[in-house]
Amino acid sequence: MKRRNRNLIRLPDIMTGLVATISFGLLSLASASHADDSFYQPPSPFPAGLPGDIVSWREAKAGPPRARELAHAWQVMYLSTDGLGNPDVVTGTVLVPKGHDPATLPVIGMAPGTAGPAFRCAPSRMIDKGAFYEQPAINDMLERGYAVAVTDYVGYHPEPETTYIIGKSMGAALLDVVRAAQRLPESGLSSSSAVMLRGYSQGGGATLWAGEMHSAYAPELDLRGLAAGGVPANLAQVALPLNGQAGFGVLLYALLGQDNLYPELSLTPYLNAQGQQAVTEMVSDMCVLELLQDFQGVSLADVTDVNPLTGPRLQRIAENELGKGTQSVPVYQYHEEQDGLVAFSQARDLKNLYCSKGVNVQWQPVDTQGSSGVVRHINLAYRGNSGVNVFIDEVLQGQTPLSNCDGG
């Protein structure tokens, strides 16, 4: 066994991490990825239109060389709806595999896992420069001849305000990026294309939120199935185990994400000086790796003077619980059995809830044998792909997946 004696970086070390990450930015960009950030600036006011309408678009790179061989890609800004029901604009990426008649292609709406609070973390930016950590999932879809529409979620602009882990915001952003892909003239995709949604971790939550919202929000989409892994279904049950643990950065980011949507919430009055510094640095330059590394072992008590988990916030946390609605299409749900970031039990509870509502659920617990709970969660971001691929292939071929609600 390899020795892992990397010191946990606690709060006083945050500055060290920050200096390291800032120094990356001084390196010259590796290739002709987009350096112009103005694309991400939301227009003011928002243009009139319907959710999923294209606001603007530009050609982009589909990822590293293999992806560029496989597909054409565009960055899109499209109309959507925020978690309070108000109009919003969201950015994303549309990828269409080469060598096919696009009008015949299914569209896979892909909901990324946690990218991070800083502007540079936006999935569309990562895809364009070849640094998107879920690129293998995109390539799997492209190689099968499926178009892919990847949402960035709400709030990635030069002054980022990401509404991290807000269910309705994520669900709308995902459904609307599929509409945007269908409506982007350059894509050639059809508005009647078969649609599947997939995502892991935050993306697993977004996928199931989109599924619960589908019939009311985007009933015209020919949704066939949902593949969701590492699903954060009950945010309270996900967040509490992270306090003082390796995943605290994700917890702090989730609180920040709520602030960015809900006007009655603000973390600022609760934060101590260290906490304020941490939040400032998060938004300025931290992506998921820094979130997971720079806050290991930190607890709310380290960054706040007063407990921020008050009534209004707990109310919003409760609002963002999956399973209040139901799913009308087959669901493939998978989870690491010893997941150290998104608790296994609350995902299994959601599966059971869906099953009790008659949803066709294929439930797949996985043991990746990872060296820690966090690594186990990360492992399944990639190793869950094979099961997702099979599920998507089967559903798109017209097969009805066998639910294992009875046996699970």
Partner 1 sequence: MSLVHVGPVATTALLMLLSASSAAAPVSATLNYTCVFPLIEEQPLSVDITSEMPDSLAVGQPSGSFQIDGTATVSAESWNGLDFVGSDTLSGQVDAHASVTGNGLSLPLVIPMEIAAQPMPDEQGAFSIVASGETPSLTFTSDNQGAVEIRVGNLVLNLTPRDDNANPTGLGDFQSECVPVTGGETLLHTITVSGDDAGSTTFGVTGDAVLKGKANWPLVGELAVETSGSSVSGSMGLETSALSLDIPGLFKTFSLDAQATLEPLSSVSGELIDGELVLSLQARIRLADIRLKLFGVPIAVYNGEQCVSSQAMSLSAVTPSGQHFDVTTGGQVTGEYSVPAFENCGVMTGLVNLYLAGAGSSLSLQLAPL
Q: Which of residues 270-329 bind partner 1 (CB under 8 A)?
A: 287-289, 292-293
Q: Does 230 participate in binding partner 1 (rule CB under 8 A)?
A: no
Q: Does 371 participate in binding partner 1 (rule CB under 8 A)?
A: yes
Q: Which of residues 341-370 bind partner 1 (CB under 8 A)?
A: 368-370
Nearer to partner 1, 300 or 378 (CB): 378
Q: Which of residues 205-224 bind partner 1 (CB under 8 A)?
A: none
The nearest distance, CB 25 to partner 1, in angstroms, is 8
Q: Does 383 participate in binding partner 1 (rule CB under 8 A)?
A: yes
> CA-to-CA distance for 137 and 108, rounded, in angstroms?
11
Dihedral sign for Cα 111, 114, 119, 123, please: negative
How many beta carbons lie within 10 A of that of residue 36, not counting itself?
7
DSSP one-letter string for 272-335: -HHHHHHHHHHHHH--HHHHHHTTTT--HHHHBSS----HHHHHHHHHT-TTSS--SS-EEEEE
The nearest distance, CB 398 to partner 1, in angstroms, is 29
Q: Return the residue of 72, 129, 316, 348 that touches partner 1, per CB under 8 A.
A: 129
Q: Does 150 participate in binding partner 1 (rule CB under 8 A)?
A: no
Nearer to partner 1, 129 or 179 (CB): 129
Q: How far is CA 83 from CA 6, 101, 251, in A?
A: 39, 36, 19
Q: How far is CA 360 from CA 93, 177, 356, in A?
A: 30, 25, 10
Please tell me the count of residues contacting partner 1 according to CB under 8 A.
Answer: 45
Q: Return the residue of 92, 109, 117, 130 that touches partner 1, per CB under 8 A.
A: 130
3-state secondary structure at position 80 = strand
The nearest distance, CB 366 to partner 1, in angstroms, is 11
The nearest distance, CB 278 to partner 1, in angstroms, is 19
- From 29-37, 79-87, 145-153, 166-174, give the range in contact with partner 1 by CB under 8 A: 29-37
Q: Does 124 participate in binding partner 1 (rule CB under 8 A)?
A: no
**For residue 45, cis peptide bond before it (omega within 30 degrees of 0):** yes
- Which structure tokens are listed for 167? 């269910």
> CA-to-CA distance for 404 and 360, rounded, in angstroms?
8
Nearer to partner 1, 288 or 298 (CB): 288
Residues near partner 1 (CB under 8 A): 1-6, 20, 24, 27-31, 63-67, 120, 126, 129-133, 135-136, 287-289, 292-293, 368-372, 375, 378-383, 385
